[in-house]
Structure 1
Amino acid sequence: TDSRRSKKGIPLHFWGIFDGHAGSGAAIMASKLLHHLIRDRLGEICHLLENPSSAPPICLAKNGSPYQAEAKKGGAQEPEDPDAVSDASVRFYMEKVVSLESLVMGVIETAFKQMDDLIEKEKSSYAISGGCCALAAIHLMGKLYVANAGDSRAIIIRNNEVIPMTNEFTPESERQRLQYLGFLRPELLGNEFTHIEFPRRIQHSELGKKMLYRDHTMTGWAYKTIVEDDLKFPLIYGEGKKARVMATIGVTRGLGDHDLKVYNSNIYIKPFLSCVPEVKVYNMDEHKHGPDDVLVMGTDGLWDVTTDKEVADAITAYLSCCDPSDPMRYTLAAQDLLMRSRGVLKERGWRLPNDRLGSGDDITVFVIPLAGHEPET
């Protein structure tokens, strides 16, 4: 947790989970630097956060170009009425309202991209291998910003109700984005993969026959006649936790992985992996929170074997048995949740009480209390 307080500053709290794969270098580097990058970029807009009325109006052209640049290029003068429409040399302009919330979201998104660039820049000097999924929560000015790049997850438990704060990014959930990139830039597929998905591998003997398929434009399935290109290995293959991009990696967002290649080839996978997080916002000031209302952050090792409801029930049950004044109650609740998901080591592996398979993956869990937040006045 990182908290910054000063007489002139704005309080900031940060929590981050970095689930590494193919080495710990990217996860360690991100854990040491990402919160500093976010803090520094927030410092650039601190004057707007402290005094929103000082923010100048942001005027954008309809095509997204700054008005001054467009006017200078076309030789036109700024119209007195920003909503006025004149001849072809001056396009239609209007003021674009940019909320402070969207500015903070942009800071977080940009910091993630900056972190990914730093990992690439330093990977040779510091022998940084592999990559990591990144999940971060930032509490700032009465709002909780949850940023997720990968398959870690976060939920808010309020009055035993579950409020999801993330979506998982996997080859299945991002199928259409990946297929579209493969369609636009077939050279990234190295003449070894096809961006089209089939229910199963196509055999050479099935050339000329009809087979179910779907591409980046489709949610459902349709039939097509099999051609030679369809015999290539699918860009996305497998189902559920076994789904892989280019038969190599099971996550589609995260930091690092700049050197990751398809086995025994020179095809880089990084172009298909995004470092940009999805940011969701929860307004703390709109709700009253009790001592058992929490934010739960966890790696996929937790969620693979435990549902949102099971997590909420376990946390609520454990906290109800604790002394509300015990400052360790949330840490102990996280530990209890971890042990429940790990299970007990038996001859046939880690097992849960109902003999289901427990999590064999690494598990990191945060249980963060929401009570005690003081609304902005």
Structure 2
Amino acid sequence: MLNRVRSAVAHLVSSGGAPPPRPKSPDLPNAPSAQTAAPPEAPRSPPARAGSSAPAKTVEARASFSRPTFLQLSPGGLRRADDHAGRAVQSPPDTGRRLPWSTGYAEVINAGKSRHNEDQACCEVVYVEGRRSVSGAPREPSQGQGLCFYYWGLFDGHAGGGAAEMASRLLHRHIREQLKDLVEILQDPSPPPLCLPSTPGAPGSSDASHLVGPQSCCSSQKEVTHESLVVGAIENAFQFMDEQMARERRGHQVEGGCCALVVVYLLGKVYVANAGDSRAIIVRNGEIIPMSREFTPETERQRLQLLVRVYDLTQYEHCPDDVLVLGTDGLWDVTSDCEVAATVDRVLSAYEPNDASRYTALAQALVLGARGIPRDRGWRLPNNKLGSGDDISVFVIPLGGPGSYS
């Protein structure tokens, strides 16, 4: 077991963070066998129609406009979603087939700041199968066939929507790729403690604040836990996504950049990773718990050290009114954490606890509250201050209630 742990975590906690050599991955096309991460292939924007989620095999000129496939927008719905004058709020259709955990989602286009909505969103249930050995032979049988994680992502594009769309389609695949080496380790509820020497200059070597548990190792070593392995995998995935974007930008028409706010639920814990000025908060029994740190060019040096925050769902009894709210800066520019918490209380109290539509209604209320209503001098809030003229995207993830995270 100790050897498996050492092999799996070496590239997560030692210099470089590169994975060991491996054969072609069946999940990611054209995966190289060199000692670099096998990047998922960059897709082309889907045409302006609902239901198309399969990426194309080449990157060409991007389609004029696309929205998250889970919105299931018809061509007419896409036109309404692209209307700067009406700014109609978009949510998944109420067809009985809801997002995982009955997650609520709502979005609205900007007031003319850019031609299209440059936000993107993703909500997936991702299965991770353990990686085969370097020789290609299956590994020894483990406790289970693989692991499943829940994934939510908001991507706020700037100077174009290409980067946000690309990240929304590929970042969770990078996370899955990084977790493949950890499947057996994470399935073992009590792996032996392992301390690896810190390598000067290695990613994360200067800060161990995200590691939990007693620091029983000597000062030149750091303790490796399940939690720190997942944190390292997510951080590596962000880095590889960034590197892939830089490569694609040189050879293809991937315009702009993007902020990324991602939530991963795995084995009882919620991991929140943020790179940019989006924000996540938990509202639990009226209490506000910040779950992200906003990064601007001035705070960029702190980004890698503070990328991921962890919340242990098993440590608290959650009720159906406890939620994790994710929003792009279009929400937070005009809405405080306290105002969001007040909206959570007001909207959810109007619905029965077992009504799954309550979380979509809450997401819509948050978007409408930040957008405001049209008046002679633009979009205005009830206090007559300017509403948000930016794209606004919101996820509301319930943390309690039957079946929420089974």
TM-score by length of 1: 0.62
CA distance in 2, matches of 1:94, 1:124: 40
- Tell me which moved more, 24-33 or 162-171: 162-171
Specify every segment of 5 or more residues in structure 2 that has no aligned partner in the other structure, as ranges.
Answer: 1-122, 129-143, 203-216
Aligned match for 1:45, one of 179, 182, 187: 182
Paired positions, count: 256
CA distance in 1, matches of 2:330, 2:165: 18
Task: Give the match's secondary structure for 1:156.
Answer: strand
CA distance in 2, matches of 1:31, 1:61: 33
Partner of 1:138: 264
Q: CA deviation at 1:62?
A: 8.5
Q: Does 2:290 align with 1:164?
A: yes
Aligned match for 2:359, one of 303, 307, 330: 330
Call closer, same or farther: CA 1:115–1:305 in 2, change over 3 Å.
same
CA distance in 2, matches of 1:374, 1:12: 15
Letter in structure 2 aligned against 1:349: G
Q: CA deviation at 1:96?
A: 3.6
Partner of 1:300: 329
Q: Does 2:163 align with 1:26?
A: yes
Q: Does 2:235 align with 1:109?
A: yes
Kindly indicate whether the alpha-carbon contact (under 8 Å) linking 2:196 and 2:224 is maintained by their aligned counterparts in 1.
Answer: no
Task: Give the match's secondary structure for 2:314.
Answer: helix
Letter in structure 1 aligned against 2:233: V
CA distance in 2, matches of 1:37, 1:149: 16
Task: Give the match's secondary structure for 1:45.
Answer: helix
Call closer, same or farther: CA 1:93–1:280 in 2, change over 3 Å.
closer
CA distance in 2, matches of 1:282, 1:56: 22
Q: CA deviation at 1:38?
A: 0.4
CA distance in 2, matches of 1:62, 1:14: 31
CA distance in 1, matches of 2:185, 2:258: 33
Identity value in percent: 51
Call closer, same or farther: CA 1:324–1:56 in 2, change over 3 Å.
closer
Aligned-residue CA RMSD (Å): 2.9
Kindly indicate whether the alpha-carbon contact (under 8 Å) linking 1:109 and 1:276 is maintained by their aligned counterparts in 2.
Answer: no
Q: Does 2:370 align with 1:341?
A: yes
Call closer, same or farther: CA 1:117–1:146 in 2, change over 3 Å.
same
Aligned match for 2:313, one of 277, 280, 284: 284
TM-score by length of 2: 0.58
Call closer, same or farther: CA 1:374–1:57 in 2, change over 3 Å.
farther
Kindly indicate whether the alpha-carbon contact (under 8 Å) linking 1:26 and 1:129 is maintained by their aligned counterparts in 2.
Answer: yes
- Tell me which moved more, 47-56 or 116-125: 47-56
Kindly indicate whether the alpha-carbon contact (under 8 Å) linking 2:398 and 2:404 is maintained by their aligned counterparts in 1.
Answer: no
Call closer, same or farther: CA 1:126–1:332 in 2, change over 3 Å.
farther
Call closer, same or farther: CA 1:338–1:314 in 2, change over 3 Å.
same
Call closer, same or farther: CA 1:27–1:325 in 2, change over 3 Å.
same
Letter in structure 2 aligned against 1:338: V
Call closer, same or farther: CA 1:61–1:306 in 2, change over 3 Å.
closer
Q: CA deviation at 1:51?
A: 1.4
Q: CA deviation at 1:167?
A: 1.4
CA distance in 2, matches of 1:309, 1:297: 14
Kindly indicate whether the alpha-carbon contact (under 8 Å) linking 1:141 and 1:376 is maintained by their aligned counterparts in 2.
Answer: no
Kindly indicate whether the alpha-carbon contact (under 8 Å) linking 1:142 and 1:375 is maintained by their aligned counterparts in 2.
Answer: no
CA distance in 2, matches of 1:365, 1:375: 19
Kindly indicate whether the alpha-carbon contact (under 8 Å) linking 1:330 and 1:367 is maintained by their aligned counterparts in 2.
Answer: yes
Partner of 2:124: 2
Q: CA deviation at 1:354?
A: 0.9
Partner of 1:365: 394
Kindly indicate whether the alpha-carbon contact (under 8 Å) linking 2:193 and 2:223 is maintained by their aligned counterparts in 1.
Answer: no
Q: Which runs of structure 2 are paired with 1:182-331 in the superposition (5 Å)?
A: 278-331=307-360
Q: Does 2:157 align with 1:16?
A: no
CA distance in 2, matches of 1:375, 1:350: 36
CA distance in 1, matches of 2:243, 2:374: 40
Call closer, same or farther: CA 1:149–1:93 in 2, change over 3 Å.
closer
Q: CA deviation at 1:64?
A: 8.6
Call closer, same or farther: CA 1:52–1:316 in 2, change over 3 Å.
same
Call closer, same or farther: CA 1:162–1:121 in 2, change over 3 Å.
same
Larger Rg: 1
